[in-house]
A and B are shown apart, each in its own frame.
Chain A
Amino acid sequence: GEDVEQSLFLSVREGDSSVINCTYTDSSSTYLYWYKQEPGAGLQLLTYIFSNMDMKQDQRLTVLLNKKDKHLSLRIADTQTGDSAIYFCAEIFTGGGNKLTFGTGTQLKVEL
């Protein structure tokens, strides 16, 4: 099956940029998403990118997609304490039946 991997933990200082990485194994990904989950809550869609795009920017968020290396990243500029949460990448791939396959999640901690 498809594997989507993320580093477990990231710690940054407030005001710095955060970069959360995601690697996947299936090259037939069509849509890739980033979700944010705060403690005890559901998932909030942050942004998404189509597989025919290399980059997408939305305010403080920049998504980069390297299809050759099967690598997706989320950059958060000017990281704030309110950005502390778990971040999941997720993808839909051809043959996956329109189901989201989630990454393992990255816990982002923002320190003062």
Chain B
Amino acid sequence: GAVVSQHPSRVICKSGTSVKIECRSLDFQATTMFWYRQFPKKSLMLMATSNEGSKATYEQGVEKDKFLINHASLTLSTLTVTSAHPEDSSFYICSARFEGEDWGYTFGSGTRLTVV
């Protein structure tokens, strides 16, 4: 249980275009999802907390107009990288909090974004 599906796994886009990444909770409802960015051989950096039905909470230094987050349902959060530039190339991972008899955080398989 508590599986998160993230798509696409890899995407290559041209500079100036926008890319949408989806994060779905498959067998549970996730009121809170998290978006991380990971640089090569580095730890995960939290970008924002996505709350169903309300605005996302962004971490300091993360441009909310650049990284648009939408959490319109209890099973889907999306991250859109707008007007992508090569420096946006990175590994993006989503996570969802699951609750029940046990609770914790489960992660998607990540999206490798390359902007050319």
**Which A residues lie at the B interface, using CB under 8 A?**
31, 33, 35, 40-45, 48, 88, 97-100, 102-105, 107
Of A40, A43, A99, A103, which is within 8 A of B107 by CB?
A43
Shortest distance from the beta carbon of A104 to any chain B beta carbon, whole Å: 5
**Which B residues lie at the A interface, using CB under 8 A?**
6, 32, 34, 41-44, 46, 49, 91, 93, 95, 97, 104-110, 112
What are 11 sample pairs from A and B whose C-beta atoms fall under 8 A apart? A35-B107, A42-B107, A42-B109, A42-B110, A43-B93, A45-B104, A88-B43, A98-B32, A98-B97, A104-B42, A105-B41
A52 to B75, CA, bound (A): 32
- Are A105 and B105 also in contact (CB < 8 A) when A40-B110, A41-B110, A99-B49 are? no
Closest to B60 in A: A1
A42 and B105 contacting across the interface, CB-CB below 8 Å: no
A42 and B104 contacting across the interface, CB-CB below 8 Å: no
Of A33, A99, A103, which is within 8 A of B43 by CB?
A103
Main secondary structure of the interface of B (DSSP, over half): strand
B49 and A42 contacting across the interface, CB-CB below 8 Å: no
Shortest distance from the beta carbon of A23 to any chain B beta carbon, whole Å: 14
A87 to B93, CA, bound (A): 16
B109 and A33 contacting across the interface, CB-CB below 8 Å: no
B44 and A45 contacting across the interface, CB-CB below 8 Å: no
Which residues of the other chain, A, contact B43 by a CB distance below 8 angstroms? 88, 102-105
Closest to B94 in A: A42
Q: A40-B91, A104-B42 are in contact. List 18 more A-B contacts (CB 8 A).
A: A41-B110, A42-B107, A43-B44, A43-B93, A43-B95, A45-B105, A45-B107, A88-B43, A88-B44, A97-B49, A99-B46, A100-B95, A100-B105, A102-B43, A102-B44, A105-B42, A105-B43, A107-B41
